[in-house]
Amino acid sequence: MTQTVTSTHPFDDAVELAAEAAAPGMFRGHTSAAYANMVGPFGGITAATLLRAVLRHPERLGDPLSLTVNFAGPIADGEFEVVARPTRTNRSTQHWSIELTQDGVVATTATAVFGIRRDTWSSTEIGAPTAPPATDVAATEFPDFIAWARNYELRFVEGAVPDPDSGEQDTSTSTLWVRDTPPRPLDFPSLTALCDVFYPRAFLRLGRYLPAGTVSLTVYFHADAALLAAQADDAVLATARAQRFGGGYFDQSGEIWGTGGVLLATTHQLVYFKA
C-alpha cells in the first residue's frame, strides 16, 4: 500500500501560529530560516504573520482592509509571542491592535482594520504599468545572502537589483512579475508579504548596497476573497518607486496588480538608510 505524504508550503510554515487555548488572541510562533533577511526576518513575513493572528482570532469580523506594521526593534531568531486584540467593533468595520514580543520586549507593533465589503460604485484611477507577459521575462536571482528571495520567482521588467557596475540611476522605479515558489494560491497573508518584495529604493538610485531597513509598512487591500481566489497561483505585477530621500529616511510606494489589470493592493513604506 502506498502512503501519501503531504507537506505544507514554506510560506505556511513561516507564518504558522499556535494559539494559546486559555488566552484568545495570544499566539506563539517561530522565525523561519527560509525567510531570513540581512538582519532578522524578511519584513513581509513578519507582517503576514501579524495579519494571520487576526485572521485566526475567534472575534474577527470580515476581511482585511488595511494593515500598518511598525518595526520597533530587531527580531531575533527563535520563538516569539503575538497578541491580537480588537479595540473596537462597529457594524461594518473592526479595529485591531497587534504586538509581537520576545522575552517580554516589544519588537513589532501593528494596527489593522477589517471590515465587511458592500456592493458599491467603483473606479480605479491609476493603471497597471506596461509589461510583457511574465513568461517573456527572464527570472532574476537575488544575492545568496538574501535568503527570503529564494521563496519568490522574480522577473524584473525594469529596475533589477543593481550590480557593482550599475552606477547611480535617474529613477527609483522597479517593476516585476512575482509569485511564490513553489507556486501557491494567493491569499491575504501572502499578498501582504508580496507588498514587501521591493528592495530599498536607495539601492537602485545609488547603484549599490547600503545599510537600510523598513521602519513602517502599510498595506491597503483592494481585493476581496473572490478576487484572490480568481488570481490562484498566477504571477502578479508589482511596481514601486520612492518619493523623497533625505535626512536618513525615504518613503516608497507600490502597487500589486492581478490578472486582467485588477489592482489587488497598494503599499507605502518609511525606510531608514545610511549613505
pLDDT given for residue 21 in this prediction: 79
Residue 24 CA to residue 56 CA, distance in Å, equals 10
CB-based contact 80:30 (threshold 8 Å): yes
Domain residue extents for the chain: 10-116+130-266
pLDDT given for residue 104 in this prediction: 95
What is the percent of the chain where pLDDT is above 90? 91
Biggest distance spanned by C-alpha atoms of the chain:
66
Q: Which residues of 49-82 are buried (b: 16+ CB within 10 A; e: fewer)?
A: bbbbbbbebeebbebbbbbbbebeeebeeeebbb
pTM of the model: 0.95
98 — alpha (psi -120 to 50), left (phi > 0) or beta? beta
C-alpha cell at 270: 518609511
The mean pLDDT value of the chain amounts to: 95
Q: Which residues contact 157 (CB under 8 A, 6 or more apart)?
A: 129, 131, 132, 137, 175, 176, 177
pLDDT band at residue 145 using 50, 70 and 90 as cut-offs: confident
How are the residues of the chain apportioned to helix, strand and coil, as percentages rounded to the nearest 5? 20, 40, 45
CB-based contact 258:134 (threshold 8 Å): no
pLDDT given for residue 207 in this prediction: 95
How confident is the model over 72-81, as a mean pLDDT? 96
Q: Is the peptide bond before 183 cis (omega within 30 degrees of 0)?
A: no
Query: Given a cut of 50, is residue 154 above it in pLDDT?
Result: yes
Query: Given a cut of 70, is residue 4 above it in pLDDT?
Result: no
Residue 142 CA to residue 160 CA, distance in Å, equals 9
pLDDT given for residue 2 in this prediction: 39
pLDDT given for residue 7 in this prediction: 61
Of 22 and 213, more confident:
213
Residue 63 CA to residue 189 CA, distance in Å, equals 11
Query: Given a cut of 90, is residue 98 above it in pLDDT?
Result: yes
Q: Which CATH class is domain 10-116+130-266?
A: mainly beta
pLDDT given for residue 144 in this prediction: 85
